[in-house]
Amino acid sequence: MKQNHIPRTRVKICGLTRVSDIAAVVAAGADAVGFVFHPASPRAVTPEQAAGLCRALPPFVTAVGLFVDASAETIDATLEQAPLDLIQFHGNESPEFCSGFGRRWIKALRMRPGIDLAAERERFAGADGLLLDAYEPGRAGGTGQCFDWARIPPDIAPEILLAGGLTPENVAEAIERVRPYGVDVSGGVEAARGLKDPELIFAFMQGVRDGDQRRHQPG
Ligand SMILES: O=C(O)c1ccccc1N[C@@H]1O[C@H](COP(=O)(O)O)[C@@H](O)[C@H]1O
């Protein structure tokens, strides 16, 4: 995914579990919603639940399904029930596995010590996007932790979705410093694990707009 000019930072809000979450995210103006199909997550939904949530989505808002090392059978069965536009692979899936579902897909890379982002970008050249998340041993993601944004090479930044510990308070600074294609948030807009908070969602979107103003300010 090559992005030379980025008019505004795209936003995905992940881990929605209720129709009221969808309403809040759509009203706030996010571009994409994420449904977590990782049973260990407090935000996990079933394919049936996700299908119902997708029905509440208006046109032009992308539905993303998040999987962590799920089997091909599980993913196929989920795709049959829920009309997902895009798959987010958040585990140790290979590029060959990721491209086997006839859907657009993004690959999450957890920023473990020593990760070679240039090599990973090459390896996942077939992805529609790369998402960078914090690394915490023993946890698949959605940790609410930031990683050191200075580790992102500037030439890769315009292609990536930045994730990991973003909040209404830090997202403007993240956008100004990293200049990513998009941002992805889960825990930072929750009132409690798995329960999104409309006010935090609105505040997050305001933070994104502030960050966009700052990133486009000359000099
Ligand atoms: O949200 C989850 O529960 C989750 C579980 C397993 C893998 C990824 C998960 N979420 C993704 O994690 C990042 C960062 O989340 P946070 O903002 O730090 O809470 C984001 O990409 C979510 O899509």
pLDDT tens digits, residue range 16-58? 999 999 999 999 999 999 999 999 999 999 999 999 999 999 9
| 142 touches ligand 1 (CB under 6 Å) | yes
Catalytic site residue 133? yes
| 41 touches ligand 1 (CB under 6 Å) | yes
pLDDT at residue number 67: 98
The catalytic residue among 21, 98, 133, 184 is 133
For residue 218, name the pLDDT band (cuts at 50, 70, 90): confident
| 194 touches ligand 1 (CB under 6 Å) | no
pLDDT at residue number 93: 98
The arithmetic mean of pLDDT across residues 134-155, rounded, is 94
The arithmetic mean of pLDDT across residues 108-130, rounded, is 97
By most ligand atoms within 8 Å of CB, the mutation choice from 93, 133, 171, 208 for ligand 1 is 133
In a domain, 113, yes or no: yes
The arithmetic mean of pLDDT across residues 100-128, rounded, is 97
Token pair belonging to 197: 């908070």
The CATH number covering residue 169 comes to 3.20.20.70
In a domain, 1, yes or no: no
Nearest CA to ligand 1 atom 10: 142
Give the residue from 140, 129, 58, 44 showing the smallest Cα distance to 91: 140
In a domain, 41, yes or no: yes
pLDDT at residue number 2: 52
| 45 touches ligand 1 (CB under 6 Å) | no
Is 186's pLDDT higher than 90? Answer: yes
For residue 1, name the pLDDT band (cuts at 50, 70, 90): low
Total number of domains in the chain = 1
How many degrees, rounded to 5, is the angle at CA 143 between CA 126 and CA 156? 35
Catalytic site residue 14? yes
Is 131's pLDDT higher than 70? Answer: yes
pLDDT at residue number 3: 54
Is 173's pLDDT higher than 60? Answer: yes
In a domain, 97, yes or no: yes
Alpha carbon 95 to chain centroid, angstroms: 18
| 179 touches ligand 1 (CB under 6 Å) | no
Residue 33 lies in domain: 10-216
Nearest CA to ligand 1 atom 7: 141
Is 5's pLDDT higher than 80? Answer: no
Query: Ligand 1 centre from 126 Cα, in Å?
Result: 22
Query: CA torsion sign, 87 to 7 to 58 to 163?
Result: positive
For residue 142, name the pLDDT band (cuts at 50, 70, 90): confident
Distances (CA, A) of 201 to 75, 107, 159, 194, 195: 29, 24, 24, 13, 11
Which helix (H) or strand (E) segment holds residue 69: the answer is none
In a domain, 2, yes or no: no
pLDDT, tens digit (0-9, with 9 covering 90-100), for 61-110: 999 999 999 999 999 999 999 999 999 999 999 999 999 999 999 999 99
Mean pLDDT of the chain: 95
pLDDT, tens digit (0-9, with 9 covering 90-100), for 198-209: 999 999 999 999
Strands, DSSP E only, in the chain? 10-14, 32-36, 62-67, 86-89, 104-110, 129-133, 160-162, 182-185, 190-192, 195-196
The arithmetic mean of pLDDT across residues 169-181, rounded, is 97
pLDDT at residue number 217: 82
In a domain, 140, yes or no: yes
In a domain, 3, yes or no: no
| 141 touches ligand 1 (CB under 6 Å) | yes
ipTM higher than the 0.90 cut = yes
User: CA 26, CA 161: separation in Å to the nearest integer?
Assistant: 19
